[in-house]
């Protein structure tokens, strides 16, 4: 199933209890960060919005840093479109706040990352796909590892970032892996639309899980309701449950 209409991000999505039951019956092949990131090289994490990097692969970033790899975080947009028409969060103010949250999350994660703020318009990555691919390729070296969202993640920015990142990684001789983020929401493993045959699971120890939990708590703009519009949090508990597992899953 890879039509756009099958990937709506709405409602509460597939509950974590469904994923856990499915994972117990279909354990994913285990892998280690050392198998996907070379200590002498760089790990590039390409995040469409500030928080995607932490939700998807905070533990892997920590483990790669411990191995000695240099960590590069590409903040493609500033996420300024998450609160449309909000008196509390005008777009320019939200862009700066979400950037600050992402920087603080890296600090809490204790990952010495270099963060590149690309300022592509939130919700407008697709028209910038070629530019993004060329921008990334200028900084990639053979043997580096690139992680970007799943190309069927369900959010147009995520899917555009995935395509651009894969193109840049392939052209640069890098290892490329996809990370589902909104995919955990729209996909239903019982319906067969999760690509289990390409998935690997990387275990997080208690320290990594705790640091990830702490880092996620910095994203107050996403975790708190907006009293000025009455809108619910962007990241409610049912979404956090899917991000706080003891594994992180990548697609080869």
Strand partners, 115: 73
Question: What is the pattern of x (binds Zn ion, CB under 5 A) and - over residues 113-132?
Answer: --------------------
Site string for Zn ion, 41-80 (x = CB under 5 A): -------xx--x----------------------------
| Three-class secondary structure of residue 147 per DSSP | strand
Question: What is the DSSP secondary structure assignment for residue 37, as one 8-state letter?
Answer: S
Q: By CB under 5 A, what part of segment 152-191 binds Zn ion?
A: none
Q: Write the interaction track for Zn ion spanning residues 5-44; mark x where CB under 5 A is met and - where it is not.
A: ----------------------------------------
Give the residue with the Cβ less far from Zn ion, 59 or 154: 154
Sheet of 70-77, strand order: 30-31, 199-203, 247-251, 175-179, 145-149, 42-47, 70-77, 113-120
Q: Which two tokens stand for residue 137?
A: 């390729």
Instruction: Kindly state the number of chain residues that form the binding site for Zn ion, as judged by CB under 5 A.
Output: 3
State in angstroms the smallest separation of the CB of 122 from Zn ion.
9
Residue 242 interacting with Zn ion (CB under 5 A):
no
Q: How far is the CB of 99 from Zn ion (least distance, A)?
A: 14
User: Per residue in 142-165, is it b (16+ CB within 10 Å) or e — as a string?
Assistant: eebbbbbbbbbbbbebbbbbbbbb
- Which residue ranges make up the site for Zn ion (CB under 5 A)? 48-49, 52
């Amino acid at each position: 199933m890879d039509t756009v209409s099958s990937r709506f991000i709405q409602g509460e999505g597939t509950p974590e209890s469904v994923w856990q039951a499915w994972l117990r019956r279909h354990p994913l092949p285990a892998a280690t960060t050392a198998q996907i990131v070379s200590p002498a090289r760089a790990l590039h994490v390409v995040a469409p919005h500030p928080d995607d990097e932490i939700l998807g692969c905070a533990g892997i970033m920590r483990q790669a840093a411990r191995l000695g790899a240099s960590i590069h975080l590409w903040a493609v947009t500033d996420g300024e479109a998450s609160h449309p028409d909000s008196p509390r969060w005008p777009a320019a103010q939200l862009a700066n706040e979400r950037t600050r949250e992402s920087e603080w999350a890296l600090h809490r994660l204790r990952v010495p990352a270099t963060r590149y703020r690309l300022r592509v318009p939130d919700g407008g990555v697709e028209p910038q796909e070629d530019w993004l691919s060329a921008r990334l390729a200028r900084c990639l070296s053979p043997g580096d590892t690139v992680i970007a969202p799943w190309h069927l993640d369900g959010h147009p920015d995520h899917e555009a970032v995935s395509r651009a990142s894969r193109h840049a990684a392939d052209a640069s001789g890098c290892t490329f892996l996809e990370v589902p983020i909104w995919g955990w929401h729209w996909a239903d493993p019982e319906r067969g639309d999760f690509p289990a045959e390409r998935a690997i699971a990387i275990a997080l120890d208690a320290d990594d899980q705790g640091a990830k939990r702490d880092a996620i708590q910095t994203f107050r703009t996403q975790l708190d309701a907006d009293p000025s519009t009455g809108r619910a949090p962007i990241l409610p508990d049912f979404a956090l449950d899917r991000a706080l597992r003891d594994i992180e899953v990548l697609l080869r």
